[in-house]
């Protein structure tokens, strides 16, 4: 019998690809979604696949949110992707910190209590849990798995939504490593830490509901930039297909147990993306901005990423920026 994976947040952008790769590789998959409509949509993508089933988890921040799902018999692996990624924050704790932190701890505590057969929990963390924003551009520095964001709780609950989001990912990841040390469960933990993730979508979106990271490319082609190329929030990116595959490879490669992987394709600038867009889609002339907001930083003037561990241990082959931007934009122009 094929191994069974519990995937949390199957309706999300990254999870959509994790789900596709798991089913392609013939895993049995139980995925959590917030409501039946989302389950019905995912089922419609794989109508003949009897290896896919659903558990409704309306709010990952609720106490014992994952108990029902994790009590299901026969789960071998858990991939926990569900966590809010947006900057529409009115209450930092309720909107971002609680779901990220409580969601992760609910998965871990329920697994220890009810599913001693689970071998490994893979968690979608982030570059947000790596970067030290207080160090600024750090010319020449290469962030890697060794770096941990030193953000504090006071900073997390302040009025900068980007800091709150980064803190939510940092505290969630830190709590997983602490859990492992203190509770010594039967399972191992792996975290996948991507920077900004782009690429084609398998989940359902509209111009209003497009996921946060792809929205930054959508903004470059929908005319909303008014001819000014915005500065990027972070200069590192990766394609969604690489990120999703990393989650699946993490459960297949023994070397990945209790490891952290910085899954980054490298540096980008919005100016470079706009350049690609105008070459790939000449019909977008007039919509894609052409004037820089501030002079562009060269790669010597801003930090980069060391992705060698993900290449060596997971065997990732990174998709190029040009390809990723093309695949996403083609879909955005067809869909939205
Ligand atoms: P999406 O917004 O597409 O996915 C987020 C998922 O989490 C969705 O399934 C969403 O459900 C679910 N979710 C969020 N909050 C709750 C909640 N309170 N209760 C139940 N479910 C909830 O974003 P991504 O796919 O981009 O993000 C997935 C993961 O990847 C997150 O952990 C994010 O932090 C991380 N990440 C993303 C990056 C990116 O650039 N995209 C970069 C680095 C890390 P629903 O669909 O119903 O809203």
Domain architecture of the chain: domains with CATH: 4-198+237-264+306-318 (3.40.50.720)
The pLDDT of 78-86, averaged and rounded, is 98
Model confidence at 46, in pLDDT bands (50, 70, 90)? very high
Which pLDDT does position 1 carry in this prediction? Answer: 78
Terminal-to-terminal C-alpha distance of the chain: 41
pLDDT at 144 over 90: yes
By most ligand atoms within 8 Å of CB, the mutation choice from 7, 8, 13 for ligand 1 is: 13
Task: Report yes or no: 199 and 210 within 8 Å, Cβ to Cβ.
Answer: no
The pLDDT of 234-239, averaged and rounded, is 97
Which pLDDT does position 272 carry in this prediction? Answer: 96
Q: pLDDT tens, 218-228? A: 999 999 999 99
- The CA dihedral of 107, 113, 117, 118, to the nearest 10 degrees, is 10
Which pLDDT does position 296 carry in this prediction? Answer: 84
The closest-lying atom of ligand 1 relative to the alpha carbon of residue 59 is 19
- Distance from Cα 53 to the centre of ligand 1, integer Å: 20
pTM of the model: 0.98
Q: pLDDT tens, 192-210? A: 999 999 999 999 899 999 9
Which pLDDT does position 89 carry in this prediction? Answer: 96
Residue 246, burial from CB neighbour count under 10 angstroms (0-12, 13-18, 19+): buried
Alpha-carbon gap, residue 17 to 45, rounded angstroms: 12
């Amino acid at each position: 019998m094929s191994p069974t994976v519990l995937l949390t947040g199957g309706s999300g952008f990254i999870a959509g690809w994790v789900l596709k790769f798991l089913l392609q590789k013939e895993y049995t998959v139980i995925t959590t979604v917030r409501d039946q409509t989302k389950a019905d949509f995912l089922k419609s993508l794989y109508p003949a696949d009897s290896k896919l089933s659903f558990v409704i988890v309306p709010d990952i921040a609720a106490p014992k949110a994952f108990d029902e799902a994790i009590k299901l018999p026969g789960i071998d692996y858990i991939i926990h992707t569900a966590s809010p990624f947006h900057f529409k924050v009115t209450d930092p704790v309720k909107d971002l910190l609680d779901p990220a932190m409580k969601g992760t701890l609910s998965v871990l505590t329920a697994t220890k209590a009810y599913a001693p057969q689970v071998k490994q929990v893979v968690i979608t963390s982030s570059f947000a849990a790596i970067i030290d924003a207080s160090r600024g551009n750090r010319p020449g520095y290469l962030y890697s798995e060794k770096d941990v964001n030193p953000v504090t709780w006071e900073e997390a609950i302040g009025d900068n939504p980007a800091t709150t989001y980064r803190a939510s990912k940092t505290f969630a990841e830190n709590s997983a490593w602490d859990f492992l040390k203190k509770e010594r469960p039967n399972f191992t933990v792996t975290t996948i830490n991507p920077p900004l993730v782009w690429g084609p979508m398998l989940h359902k979106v509209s111009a209003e509901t497009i996921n946060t990271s792809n929205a930054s490319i959508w903004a470059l082609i929908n005319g909303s930039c008014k001819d000014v190329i915005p500065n990027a929030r972070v200069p590192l990116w990766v394609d969604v297909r690489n990120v999703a595959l990393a989650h699946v490879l993490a459960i297949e490669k023994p070397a990945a147990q209790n490891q952290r992987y910085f899954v980054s394709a490298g540096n980008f600038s919005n100016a470079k993306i706009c350049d690609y867009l105008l070459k790939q889609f000449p019909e977008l002339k007039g919509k894609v901005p052409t004037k820089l907001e501030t002079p562009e930083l060269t790669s010597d003037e801003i930090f980069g990423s060391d992705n060698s561990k993900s290449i060596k241990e997971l065997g990732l082959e990174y998709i190029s920026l040009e390809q990723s931007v093309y695949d996403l934009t083609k879909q955005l122009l067809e869909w939205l």
